[in-house]
Amino acid sequence: MGNGIGGKKKILPVLTAAALIGSLLTGCGSVAEASSGNEFMGAASATVRFKVGTTTAPEGHYVKGLQEMQRLLEKYSDGEMTLDIYPNSELGNERDMMESVGLGIQEMALVSTGPFPNFCPDWSVLDLPYLFEDAQEAYRKLDGENGQALLDELSKIRIKGIGFWENGFRQLTNDSVEIRTPEDLKGIKVRTMENTIHMATYQELGASPTPMAWSEIFTALQQGTVDGQENPIAIIDSAKVYEVQHYCSMLNLFYSPCVLIINEKLYNNFTAEQKEAFDRAAEEAKVWQREYSQSYNEEGLKHMQEQGVIITEVNQEEWIEATKGVYEDVEKFGLSQEFVDTWTAD
Protein backbone atom coordinates (compact mmCIF):
# COMPACT_ATOMS: atom_id res chain seq x y z
CA MET A 1 0.00 0.00 0.00
CA GLY A 2 1.54 3.31 -0.99
CA ASN A 3 2.20 6.11 1.40
CA GLY A 4 -0.70 8.18 0.09
CA ILE A 5 -0.58 11.20 -2.21
CA GLY A 6 1.33 13.52 0.13
CA GLY A 7 4.16 11.00 0.30
CA LYS A 8 4.53 11.75 4.03
CA LYS A 9 1.44 9.85 5.12
CA LYS A 10 1.89 6.89 7.44
CA ILE A 11 0.74 3.62 5.97
CA LEU A 12 -3.01 3.77 6.20
CA PRO A 13 -4.83 1.28 8.43
CA VAL A 14 -5.46 -2.13 6.91
CA LEU A 15 -9.13 -1.18 6.71
CA THR A 16 -8.31 1.39 4.04
CA ALA A 17 -6.27 -1.12 2.12
CA ALA A 18 -9.20 -3.53 2.31
CA ALA A 19 -11.52 -0.78 1.15
CA LEU A 20 -9.26 -0.15 -1.81
CA ILE A 21 -8.93 -3.84 -2.68
CA GLY A 22 -12.66 -4.34 -2.13
CA SER A 23 -13.60 -1.56 -4.50
CA LEU A 24 -11.08 -2.73 -7.08
CA LEU A 25 -12.19 -6.38 -6.93
CA THR A 26 -15.69 -5.38 -7.96
CA GLY A 27 -14.04 -4.16 -11.13
CA CYS A 28 -15.35 -0.64 -10.86
CA GLY A 29 -16.71 1.50 -8.15
CA SER A 30 -18.37 0.63 -4.91
CA VAL A 31 -20.68 -2.35 -5.03
CA ALA A 32 -24.28 -1.23 -5.40
CA GLU A 33 -26.03 -0.04 -2.27
CA ALA A 34 -29.69 0.69 -2.78
CA SER A 35 -29.75 4.42 -3.33
CA SER A 36 -31.17 6.40 -0.47
CA GLY A 37 -33.71 8.07 -2.74
CA ASN A 38 -31.84 11.35 -2.25
CA GLU A 39 -31.88 13.36 -5.49
CA PHE A 40 -28.08 13.22 -5.84
CA MET A 41 -27.91 9.41 -5.70
CA GLY A 42 -27.98 7.57 -9.00
CA ALA A 43 -30.57 5.01 -10.05
CA ALA A 44 -31.02 2.38 -7.31
CA SER A 45 -30.90 -0.36 -9.93
CA ALA A 46 -27.35 0.50 -11.06
CA THR A 47 -24.91 -2.19 -9.96
CA VAL A 48 -21.69 -0.17 -10.34
CA ARG A 49 -21.68 3.12 -8.43
CA PHE A 50 -19.06 5.83 -8.11
CA LYS A 51 -19.03 8.13 -5.06
CA VAL A 52 -18.14 11.59 -6.38
CA GLY A 53 -17.51 14.46 -3.97
CA THR A 54 -17.42 18.23 -4.45
CA THR A 55 -17.14 21.16 -2.05
CA THR A 56 -19.82 23.13 -3.86
CA ALA A 57 -23.51 23.79 -3.23
CA PRO A 58 -26.20 21.48 -4.66
CA GLU A 59 -27.58 24.35 -6.79
CA GLY A 60 -24.14 25.11 -8.26
CA HIS A 61 -22.59 24.39 -11.66
CA TYR A 62 -20.38 21.52 -10.40
CA VAL A 63 -23.31 19.48 -9.11
CA LYS A 64 -25.50 20.26 -12.14
CA GLY A 65 -22.69 19.01 -14.40
CA LEU A 66 -22.33 15.84 -12.32
CA GLN A 67 -26.08 15.23 -12.49
CA GLU A 68 -25.85 15.53 -16.28
CA MET A 69 -22.99 13.01 -16.29
CA GLN A 70 -25.00 10.72 -13.98
CA ARG A 71 -27.87 10.76 -16.52
CA LEU A 72 -25.58 10.14 -19.48
CA LEU A 73 -23.60 7.39 -17.72
CA GLU A 74 -26.78 5.47 -16.88
CA LYS A 75 -27.93 5.92 -20.48
CA TYR A 76 -24.69 4.83 -22.15
CA SER A 77 -24.07 1.89 -19.75
CA ASP A 78 -27.67 0.62 -20.10
CA GLY A 79 -28.25 1.33 -16.42
CA GLU A 80 -25.20 -0.58 -15.14
CA MET A 81 -23.15 2.44 -13.96
CA THR A 82 -24.05 5.60 -12.07
CA LEU A 83 -22.70 8.43 -9.92
CA ASP A 84 -23.66 9.05 -6.30
CA ILE A 85 -23.03 12.78 -5.81
CA TYR A 86 -21.93 14.29 -2.47
CA PRO A 87 -21.99 18.14 -2.52
CA ASN A 88 -21.06 20.69 0.18
CA SER A 89 -17.77 19.09 1.27
CA GLU A 90 -19.66 16.05 2.66
CA LEU A 91 -16.65 13.85 1.72
CA GLY A 92 -14.06 16.43 2.88
CA ASN A 93 -12.30 19.48 1.45
CA GLU A 94 -10.68 19.45 -1.98
CA ARG A 95 -7.28 18.35 -0.77
CA ASP A 96 -8.78 15.55 1.39
CA MET A 97 -10.81 14.29 -1.55
CA MET A 98 -7.81 14.29 -3.87
CA GLU A 99 -5.94 12.11 -1.37
CA SER A 100 -8.94 9.79 -0.90
CA VAL A 101 -9.30 9.32 -4.66
CA GLY A 102 -5.58 8.50 -5.00
CA LEU A 103 -5.93 5.91 -2.24
CA GLY A 104 -9.12 4.42 -3.65
CA ILE A 105 -11.10 5.28 -0.52
CA GLN A 106 -13.38 7.48 -2.65
CA GLU A 107 -13.91 6.74 -6.32
CA MET A 108 -14.19 10.25 -7.79
CA ALA A 109 -14.17 13.97 -7.15
CA LEU A 110 -14.83 17.20 -9.05
CA VAL A 111 -12.47 19.77 -7.53
CA SER A 112 -10.84 23.09 -8.42
CA THR A 113 -7.14 22.96 -9.31
CA GLY A 114 -6.25 24.88 -6.12
CA PRO A 115 -4.63 22.00 -4.16
CA PHE A 116 -3.06 20.23 -7.19
CA PRO A 117 0.31 22.10 -7.20
CA ASN A 118 1.01 20.67 -3.73
CA PHE A 119 1.38 17.28 -5.42
CA CYS A 120 2.22 18.17 -9.05
CA PRO A 121 4.08 21.55 -9.22
CA ASP A 122 3.46 22.06 -12.96
CA TRP A 123 -0.23 22.56 -12.15
CA SER A 124 0.52 25.94 -10.62
CA VAL A 125 0.82 27.36 -14.15
CA LEU A 126 -2.99 27.41 -14.16
CA ASP A 127 -2.96 29.74 -11.15
CA LEU A 128 -1.10 32.56 -12.93
CA PRO A 129 -3.08 35.81 -13.10
CA TYR A 130 -4.70 36.69 -16.44
CA LEU A 131 -3.29 33.51 -18.05
CA PHE A 132 -6.28 33.24 -20.38
CA GLU A 133 -8.01 36.15 -22.09
CA ASP A 134 -11.37 34.42 -22.26
CA ALA A 135 -13.07 31.05 -21.70
CA GLN A 136 -12.60 29.96 -25.32
CA GLU A 137 -8.82 30.31 -25.01
CA ALA A 138 -8.97 28.38 -21.73
CA TYR A 139 -10.94 25.53 -23.29
CA ARG A 140 -8.62 25.38 -26.33
CA LYS A 141 -5.46 25.12 -24.20
CA LEU A 142 -6.90 22.91 -21.45
CA ASP A 143 -8.32 20.45 -24.02
CA GLY A 144 -5.06 20.52 -26.00
CA GLU A 145 -1.76 18.73 -25.46
CA ASN A 146 -0.67 21.08 -22.65
CA GLY A 147 -3.78 20.29 -20.62
CA GLN A 148 -3.52 16.57 -21.38
CA ALA A 149 0.10 16.58 -20.13
CA LEU A 150 -1.10 18.00 -16.79
CA LEU A 151 -3.83 15.37 -16.52
CA ASP A 152 -1.29 12.62 -17.30
CA GLU A 153 0.94 13.89 -14.46
CA LEU A 154 -1.73 12.88 -11.94
CA SER A 155 -0.83 9.25 -12.61
CA LYS A 156 2.08 9.67 -10.19
CA ILE A 157 -0.44 10.12 -7.38
CA ARG A 158 -2.61 7.22 -8.63
CA ILE A 159 -5.28 9.52 -10.04
CA LYS A 160 -6.72 9.45 -13.54
CA GLY A 161 -7.51 13.02 -14.61
CA ILE A 162 -10.58 12.73 -16.84
CA GLY A 163 -10.98 16.29 -17.99
CA PHE A 164 -11.16 20.00 -17.23
CA TRP A 165 -14.62 21.29 -16.46
CA GLU A 166 -15.31 24.90 -15.51
CA ASN A 167 -15.17 26.72 -12.22
CA GLY A 168 -14.76 30.07 -14.03
CA PHE A 169 -13.17 33.50 -13.88
CA ARG A 170 -12.66 34.46 -10.25
CA GLN A 171 -14.25 37.69 -8.94
CA LEU A 172 -13.51 39.44 -5.66
CA THR A 173 -16.17 40.07 -3.01
CA ASN A 174 -15.90 42.01 0.25
CA ASP A 175 -18.27 43.68 2.68
CA SER A 176 -16.70 47.02 3.42
CA VAL A 177 -15.54 48.97 0.37
CA GLU A 178 -16.09 49.16 -3.37
CA ILE A 179 -12.87 47.89 -4.98
CA ARG A 180 -12.23 49.43 -8.39
CA THR A 181 -8.44 49.87 -8.59
CA PRO A 182 -5.51 47.88 -7.11
CA GLU A 183 -5.05 50.83 -4.75
CA ASP A 184 -8.45 50.06 -3.16
CA LEU A 185 -7.21 46.56 -2.28
CA LYS A 186 -4.42 47.71 0.07
CA GLY A 187 -4.67 45.92 3.41
CA ILE A 188 -7.85 44.04 2.56
CA LYS A 189 -7.75 40.51 4.07
CA VAL A 190 -8.67 38.15 1.24
CA ARG A 191 -9.39 34.44 1.64
CA THR A 192 -7.62 32.56 -1.12
CA MET A 193 -7.42 28.90 -2.04
CA GLU A 194 -4.46 27.06 -0.52
CA ASN A 195 -2.03 27.82 -3.33
CA THR A 196 1.06 29.94 -3.49
CA ILE A 197 0.48 31.82 -6.75
CA HIS A 198 -2.95 33.11 -5.77
CA MET A 199 -1.46 34.25 -2.44
CA ALA A 200 1.56 35.84 -4.16
CA THR A 201 -0.72 37.68 -6.58
CA TYR A 202 -2.83 39.22 -3.82
CA GLN A 203 0.37 40.17 -1.97
CA GLU A 204 1.62 41.82 -5.19
CA LEU A 205 -1.62 43.83 -5.19
CA GLY A 206 -1.07 44.97 -1.60
CA ALA A 207 -3.80 42.79 -0.05
CA SER A 208 -3.33 40.37 2.81
CA PRO A 209 -4.10 36.82 1.55
CA THR A 210 -5.33 34.11 3.96
CA PRO A 211 -5.47 30.58 2.51
CA MET A 212 -8.23 28.28 3.77
CA ALA A 213 -10.52 25.46 2.64
CA TRP A 214 -13.80 26.54 1.08
CA SER A 215 -15.84 24.92 3.87
CA GLU A 216 -14.39 27.42 6.39
CA ILE A 217 -15.28 30.55 4.43
CA PHE A 218 -18.61 31.51 6.01
CA THR A 219 -17.29 31.34 9.57
CA ALA A 220 -14.22 33.34 8.53
CA LEU A 221 -16.31 36.05 6.85
CA GLN A 222 -18.77 36.26 9.75
CA GLN A 223 -15.97 36.41 12.35
CA GLY A 224 -14.04 38.98 10.29
CA THR A 225 -10.98 36.72 10.02
CA VAL A 226 -11.08 37.78 6.39
CA ASP A 227 -12.79 40.77 4.72
CA GLY A 228 -13.41 39.11 1.39
CA GLN A 229 -13.03 36.09 -0.84
CA GLU A 230 -12.70 35.40 -4.53
CA ASN A 231 -14.61 32.89 -6.63
CA PRO A 232 -16.54 32.62 -9.89
CA ILE A 233 -20.07 34.07 -9.91
CA ALA A 234 -21.61 30.58 -10.04
CA ILE A 235 -19.94 29.74 -6.70
CA ILE A 236 -20.64 33.14 -5.10
CA ASP A 237 -24.32 32.98 -6.05
CA SER A 238 -25.04 29.28 -5.46
CA ALA A 239 -23.29 29.35 -2.06
CA LYS A 240 -25.20 32.55 -1.17
CA VAL A 241 -21.96 34.38 -0.38
CA TYR A 242 -23.86 37.59 -1.27
CA GLU A 243 -25.67 37.27 2.07
CA VAL A 244 -22.45 38.34 3.82
CA GLN A 245 -20.65 40.28 1.07
CA HIS A 246 -22.04 43.57 -0.26
CA TYR A 247 -19.52 44.28 -3.05
CA CYS A 248 -18.32 42.21 -6.01
CA SER A 249 -15.50 43.46 -8.26
CA MET A 250 -15.32 41.78 -11.67
CA LEU A 251 -11.54 41.30 -11.73
CA ASN A 252 -11.42 38.09 -13.82
CA LEU A 253 -8.09 37.78 -12.02
CA PHE A 254 -7.68 34.01 -12.49
CA TYR A 255 -9.45 31.52 -14.74
CA SER A 256 -10.20 28.55 -12.49
CA PRO A 257 -10.83 25.16 -14.11
CA CYS A 258 -12.18 22.28 -12.07
CA VAL A 259 -11.03 18.73 -12.73
CA LEU A 260 -12.96 15.48 -12.82
CA ILE A 261 -10.76 12.80 -11.25
CA ILE A 262 -11.15 9.06 -10.63
CA ASN A 263 -8.97 6.49 -8.89
CA GLU A 264 -6.58 5.28 -11.58
CA LYS A 265 -6.76 1.55 -10.73
CA LEU A 266 -10.53 1.70 -10.78
CA TYR A 267 -10.51 3.32 -14.21
CA ASN A 268 -7.94 0.86 -15.58
CA ASN A 269 -10.17 -2.03 -14.42
CA PHE A 270 -13.06 -0.92 -16.66
CA THR A 271 -14.15 -3.33 -19.37
CA ALA A 272 -13.97 -1.87 -22.88
CA GLU A 273 -17.74 -1.24 -22.81
CA GLN A 274 -17.61 0.42 -19.37
CA LYS A 275 -14.71 2.64 -20.49
CA GLU A 276 -16.55 3.68 -23.63
CA ALA A 277 -19.72 4.56 -21.68
CA PHE A 278 -17.76 6.41 -18.96
CA ASP A 279 -15.55 8.41 -21.35
CA ARG A 280 -18.50 9.37 -23.56
CA ALA A 281 -20.64 10.49 -20.61
CA ALA A 282 -17.74 12.47 -19.10
CA GLU A 283 -16.86 14.22 -22.39
CA GLU A 284 -20.47 15.22 -23.15
CA ALA A 285 -21.07 16.32 -19.56
CA LYS A 286 -17.91 18.50 -19.71
CA VAL A 287 -19.26 20.40 -22.73
CA TRP A 288 -22.69 20.71 -21.12
CA GLN A 289 -21.24 21.92 -17.79
CA ARG A 290 -19.13 24.63 -19.44
CA GLU A 291 -22.19 25.96 -21.27
CA TYR A 292 -24.21 25.81 -18.05
CA SER A 293 -21.45 27.67 -16.20
CA GLN A 294 -21.38 30.45 -18.81
CA SER A 295 -25.15 30.92 -18.69
CA TYR A 296 -25.08 30.79 -14.88
CA ASN A 297 -22.66 33.73 -14.85
CA GLU A 298 -25.22 36.03 -16.45
CA GLU A 299 -28.15 34.76 -14.35
CA GLY A 300 -26.09 34.76 -11.16
CA LEU A 301 -24.97 38.38 -11.62
CA LYS A 302 -28.57 39.50 -12.13
CA HIS A 303 -29.68 37.56 -9.05
CA MET A 304 -26.88 39.04 -6.93
CA GLN A 305 -27.84 42.59 -8.01
CA GLU A 306 -31.45 41.83 -7.04
CA GLN A 307 -30.08 40.87 -3.60
CA GLY A 308 -28.48 44.33 -3.37
CA VAL A 309 -24.88 43.44 -4.25
CA ILE A 310 -22.90 46.31 -5.85
CA ILE A 311 -21.25 44.86 -8.99
CA THR A 312 -18.15 46.83 -9.99
CA GLU A 313 -16.63 46.57 -13.48
CA VAL A 314 -12.89 47.42 -13.44
CA ASN A 315 -10.24 48.60 -15.92
CA GLN A 316 -8.71 45.17 -16.64
CA GLU A 317 -5.51 46.65 -18.18
CA GLU A 318 -4.76 48.38 -14.88
CA TRP A 319 -5.05 45.07 -12.99
CA ILE A 320 -3.03 43.15 -15.57
CA GLU A 321 -0.27 45.74 -15.22
CA ALA A 322 -0.42 45.54 -11.41
CA THR A 323 0.03 41.74 -11.41
CA LYS A 324 2.81 41.49 -14.02
CA GLY A 325 5.41 41.08 -11.24
CA VAL A 326 4.11 37.55 -10.55
CA TYR A 327 5.51 36.48 -13.94
CA GLU A 328 9.00 37.86 -13.23
CA ASP A 329 10.23 34.95 -11.11
CA VAL A 330 8.15 31.85 -11.89
CA GLU A 331 10.97 29.60 -10.65
CA LYS A 332 9.98 30.43 -7.09
CA PHE A 333 6.64 28.69 -7.77
CA GLY A 334 8.44 25.58 -9.04
CA LEU A 335 7.84 26.52 -12.68
CA SER A 336 10.36 27.07 -15.49
CA GLN A 337 10.01 30.14 -17.73
CA GLU A 338 10.17 27.79 -20.72
CA PHE A 339 7.17 25.80 -19.40
CA VAL A 340 5.17 28.96 -18.70
CA ASP A 341 5.95 30.19 -22.23
CA THR A 342 4.26 27.05 -23.66
CA TRP A 343 1.04 28.19 -21.94
CA THR A 344 1.26 31.90 -22.77
CA ALA A 345 2.10 31.33 -26.46
CA ASP A 346 -0.90 31.67 -28.80
Which residues of this chain interact with ligand EAX, rule CB under 6 A?
A: 55-56, 94, 111-112, 114, 167, 193, 214, 231, 235, 256, 258
Q: How far is the CB of 32 from ligand EAX (least distance, A)?
A: 29
Q: How far is the CB of 113 from ligand EAX (least distance, A)?
A: 9
Nearest CB to ligand EAX, comparing residues 93 and 263: 93
Q: How far is the CB of 255 from ligand EAX (least distance, A)?
A: 12
Q: How far is the CB of 256 from ligand EAX (least distance, A)?
A: 6
Nearest CB to ligand EAX, comparing residues 104 and 114: 114
Q: How far is the CB of 310 from ligand EAX (least distance, A)?
A: 21
Q: How far is the CB of 112 from ligand EAX (least distance, A)?
A: 3
Residues 6 or more apart whose Cβ sits within 8 Å of residue 175: 221, 227, 228, 244, 245, 246, 247
